[in-house]
Chains A and B, each alone.
Chain A
Amino acid sequence: MKVAAGELSTEERQNLDKFTKSLFLKSAQIIVQSRLGEKIHTKCNPQHASTDLFNLAIKDLPEVQSETKKALSVCGEVMSCSQLPFCVEISLRTVEGDTMTLETWCLGVLADQKDSTLRVTYTIYNRMGTLLKSLVSITRITPAYKLSRRQGPDSYVICYRMYLGEPQLHSLGEGYNQVKVGQLSTPIGTLQVSVSYRTKMTISPQPSSKDNSIMLKSDHFRPDNGPKNVRSQIDDLTSSLSETIKVGAFADSRKTSLAPSDANLVFPDVPFSSLLTSRYPTQQSPSSPTGDILSSILNQNSPVNRTSNTSSTPPASSVERKEDSDNGNITTTRCTSSSINEDFILVDLKTPFAGSNANSDLGLFYKECQTAPPLHGCCEEPTVAEQVGDLASQLKVFESNLQEYDNMLSSLCDSENGNE
């Protein structure tokens, strides 16, 4: 087949579209399969097989195939030469639910760099084969490869995500590297494959639960860092309450500071929040470094044998922290109204020891008691009013004993330090 200078014939154009589409599909297979955590071995076949495109033995995993097609589909049609680049994002998810994007592979067509002198059918097909071989080689040398080989259900899994659009490189952290895998000139533009990968691996994939337990205990009694009651029902998020929200003992201060201002965005307004809760409860290590943990995408990723194409980013303030009394971890869960009260009481019972803020905490504690479901014994209206009065008097008693509590707190702190 010969190419006249300038325009492509319909057949040539169709061939080129077909090749490009195949290249995208095979590239996705190569990338995802290289992150499965196992060594790949495909056999040479001296006989031509129509399924082995580009004369390279690349297995087709059906799930990856369908996900790639879905990601490439625009209005129900699989696009091959879209103006938008096709990206495959690889990320790591720990058993605690921490997620970190490791790398983003990007395949794009630069429409302004064309080479109309090339023979479409043979030369381009061969060069695409070379490009895929380079991709196979380079997938083994980025840092994510070594991590993927060490993945396991007890530590972390590698996830992938495919999308059509500009690569989202901000999630790779500072100082990420960009490497060109290869490029290929065609009459419709230059096909380019590149990878951007994270260089700063500041997440700790396997934090020790024992250490967490100790930290939780010692932090808990610090007056300025003690756990505060962050209410999760929007009805309870009154202005006076939001003013009292302080930086939690294990919370990222940056995230938590957003809580009051974002309070109205929080619970019922988060789309599909109940779905997120039930499927992907996430845990956050108290000792995890801030900044690199991308909790925002954890619900959109899936282990390497699964995928999803869409992305939504729940605001950080929509996360409620609760204390897991079994293992001492701080667990962040998507808020649902069903589990709130129990969690709240667990945390709040300890706030009387919280030093200088004891007044407001105690007040909030009683406010919470007011809004709690009434007991059978005090369901009549007058009884409630009486009880409020009774509670107020009790509050006064407690406040008068404030010094005693402070003394107890300091003695506890002393004994803690002594033990260490």
Chain B
Amino acid sequence: MTNGKFLYCLRDIYHFPCLSSVRFFFHVFVVPNTAETVEGHQVDEAVASIFHTVLFHRSLGKFCYKQEGHYSIGTVGYEDVDCDFIDFTYVCCSSYYLDRTLKREISGFSEALRGNDGPGSGQISLEFFQKKKTRWPFQPECIPWEVWNVRLELIKLNNEHERQLCREKVGDLLTEKILYVAEIMNRHEYVPTMPSQSDLDLIFDTTYPDIQPYLFKLSFTTSEPSNTSVGTTMRKLIKETLSI
């Protein structure tokens, strides 16, 4: 991913006044000189715990239409997930396919983050959007209505003791984030109105057999320590936004 994409996301945020945009800025501490999987999994678990919690709130049961205007809504199941590399347990929808989608996207981000030389940082976004029909032959326009950004920084740790502290500290940080997610969700600020049967695909992702989340996509960007002026400016912008 490039900074261009990063800018595109931010531009979207600022262009939609009804948008509920949320940004995080926190660190994930990763031990160097240990197995790659440890690093990868800690990043994966941190991101997954937040995004799964968001998607748990933003997923409904499957709509089952009986006749026009009449439909029933299925049930959302959930399950507890224990993190292996963080002292933390989170809840996610018990949907294998939803989990697979998330895992695939997050591991792409995790690998890109770890692929950088030296301490790197990056941001991964979960964006909910609705589609707007346009005239043929154009593709439907995607209008985001909520974006969740998680920004990660990798820093070096020196010994096993620090690693143990990290397990707990990252767990505490995630606790704060989950509380924040719940707070935002219970503000009931904006979700798209329920569509008619023909427009269901414009609001919901109907490809999952057991669950029906609002349309969403994941995207990420990674940045190296010696970044361009554009990247630095954007990082400053995010920090300033958070300090408000």
Contact = CB atoms under 8 A, between A and B. Distances in A.
Interface of A: 39-49, 52, 55-57, 127, 130-131, 133-134, 136-138, 140-141, 145-146, 149, 179-184
Given A42-B94, A45-B61, A46-B64, A141 B178 contact: yes
A140 B182 CA distance: 13
Nearest to A52: B75
Contacts of B80: 39-41, 140
B91 A48 contact: no
A45 B211 CA distance: 8
Contacts of B87: 146
B57 A41 contact: no
A112 B64 CA distance: 39
Interface residues of B, number: 38
Contacts of A146: 87, 89
A140 B91 contact: yes
Given A40-B79, A44-B211, A46-B64, A134 B185 contact: yes
A181 B74 contact: no
A182 to B, nearest CB: 3
Contacts of B78: 40-42, 56-57, 133, 136
A45 B74 contact: yes
Contact of B183 (A43, A49, A140, A180): A180
B210 interface: yes
Given A47-B64, A133-B76, 13 more contacts: A41-B79, A42-B94, A44-B74, A45-B210, A46-B61, A47-B74, A55-B74, A57-B94, A127-B186, A133-B78, A134-B57, A136-B78, A141-B88
B181 interface: yes
A141 B183 CA distance: 14
A181 B211 contact: no
A349 to B, nearest CB: 50
A179 B186 CA distance: 13
Nearest to A58: B78
Contacts of B181: 137
B61 A44 contact: yes
A180 B181 CA distance: 12
A130 B74 CA distance: 15
A243 to B, nearest CB: 52
Contacts of A181: 182, 186
Given A44-B61, A46-B210, A127-B188, A138 B178 contact: yes
Contacts of B18: none
Contacts of A46: 61-62, 64, 74, 209-210
Contacts of A182: 182-183, 185-186
A49 B60 CA distance: 14
Interface string B41-78: 00000000000010011001110100000001111111
Contacts of B76: 44, 55-57, 133
Interface in B71-101: 72-80, 82, 87-91, 93-95
Nearest to A183: B186
Contacts of A138: 178-179, 182
